[in-house]
Amino acid sequence: MAEGETESPGPKKRGPYISSITSRSVNLVIRGVVLFFIGVFLALVLNLLQIQRNVTLFPPDVIASIFSSAWWVPPCCGTASAVIGLLYPCIDRHLGEPHKFKREWSSVMRCVAVFVGINHASAKVDFDNNIQLSLTLAALSIGLWWTFDRSCSGFGLGVGIAFLATLITQLLVYNGVYQYTSPDFLYVRSWLPCIFFAGGITMGNIGRQLAMYECKVIAEKSHQE
């Protein structure tokens, strides 16, 4: 090569911003942040519905916070949403079975709408007894899984999330953090696991869709290089 000539940078030379955005670690953080804020938003909306119908009761001194919700509820739900949304695609990769059923944003939005409807029904619809309401919500929650997921891993994670979240809620109620009106299942309402199950499936679908977008970005980067 003659003196004074410079080597062509070539197509592999990329700016630091593009390189960092398309890296797995940064994409993982971005997905976690997006899932966190989605969980916070849903917690504010859904908890407001529960409080308006007097399903959950908080002490008077915490009602003064934003949207009549205890300050710690949205961050906790946001954190749980981030963990669940990141866990679902991670389990899929570990099992070697990427989830392909109805993988488009329109399906995810319908799943969110159905989940909000199930939560709203738990506070709005009046049944003769809690058993009828619990069975109805259980059928709706399983229907949500069948319509938008249909994976064994998704069902198993949903059941595990429902069990763990219900146990944590029972401990909070037992320690007087808040309470449910007319509890019929160890300090809580018997339909609560159904809500947690549907919520786990919903956040799992959102997490899978975000992970699918990340895979597309990485694939495009590899193709360009």
The string of pLDDT tens digits covering residues 96-119 is 766 666 678 888 999 999 998 888
- SS3 (DSSP) at 57: strand
pLDDT value of residue 44: 82
pLDDT value of residue 196: 92
Asked if residue 21 belongs to a domain, the reply is no
Amino acid at 129: N
Asked if residue 220 belongs to a domain, the reply is yes
Structure tokens at 84: 């669940």
Asked if residue 56 belongs to a domain, the reply is no
pLDDT value of residue 203: 93
Asked if residue 23 belongs to a domain, the reply is no
Our count of domains for the chain comes to 1
Asked if residue 7 belongs to a domain, the reply is no
Q: Enumerate residue ranges in the chain where pLDDT < 50.
A: 1-2, 4-8, 10-20, 61-69, 217-219, 222
Asked if residue 139 belongs to a domain, the reply is yes
**CB count, 10 Å around CB of 70?**
19
Asked if residue 201 belongs to a domain, the reply is yes
pLDDT value of residue 66: 44
Average pLDDT, the chain: 76
Asked if residue 61 belongs to a domain, the reply is no
* pTM confidence score: 0.75
Q: Which domain holds residue 120?
A: 28-50+71-224
Pairwise CA distance, residues 221 & 225, whole Å: 6
pLDDT value of residue 12: 47
- Which H/E stretch holds residue 14? none
pLDDT value of residue 120: 81
